[in-house]
Amino acid sequence: MMMIIPKQFLKSIKRSGFGVNLFDAWRYMDRGEPSMDNSKRLLNPDFVLNEPRYIGANVLLARKNFGCGSSREHAPWALGDYGFRVLIAPSYADIFYNNCFKTGLLPIVLSEAQVDRLFHDVMAFTGFRLVVDLDSQTVAYPDGSQVFPFEVDAFRRHCLLNGLDDIGLTLQHVDEIKAFEVKRKTRQPWLFT
């Protein structure tokens, strides 16, 4: 069973609407189905994201190999649709990691010791906050007492900072594409009859 977004929700190819079923098997007391009205489902009071202190969180802390078994885009879509913008873990499953960038999520890799420290402080301090700065590639406590550097490939960083997905990158060359098409119609008119 996929824990991030269960298999029964993977039939849709829309990029939205998955957030209500994020971690469905853990968040709710019953098994979810695509046609269910989630507002009428009983929440699991023991699931961490159902605690009032975490409602509206946009940074998700996770353990190593996060996203394993979640190789389809639906998992990052669900995380983003729920409201997460940043993931922090010691490691990620490869395909999941790549899909995060393609869907606008920032998966940050920190050491296990750093992630342990973050988990400890989140649990210890209600209202705990982090400042994530993609431009300077740092995760910091608001008072500056802890700063954790991270690395992101320059191209991926550029895309995230500029809100570019694969289509957005292509559209940056729209004039060149149009010019190519005009040339192609002239050189190979039989393709357009």
Mean pLDDT per 10-residue segment, the chain (193 residues): 82 87 96 92 96 94 94 92 98 96 96 98 94 98 96 96 88 91 92 86
Note the pTM of the prediction, 2 decimals: 0.88
Per the CB < 8 A criterion, the answer to whether 149 and 137 are in contact is: yes
Residue 1: the pLDDT is: 37
7-162: CATH topology is Aconitase; domain 4 (3.20.19)
Residue 19: the pLDDT is: 94
Helices (H) and strands (E) in the chain, counts: 7, 6
* Calpha distance 129→188 (Å, rounded): 59
Taking alpha carbons only, the member of 166, 132, 165, 138 closest to residue 151 is: 138
Which DSSP helix (H) or strand (E) runs through 156?
helix 154-161
Q: Is 74 left (phi over 0), alpha (psi -120 to 50) or beta?
A: alpha
Return the domain boundaries, the chain.
Answer: 7-162, 165-193
Residue 2: the pLDDT is: 58
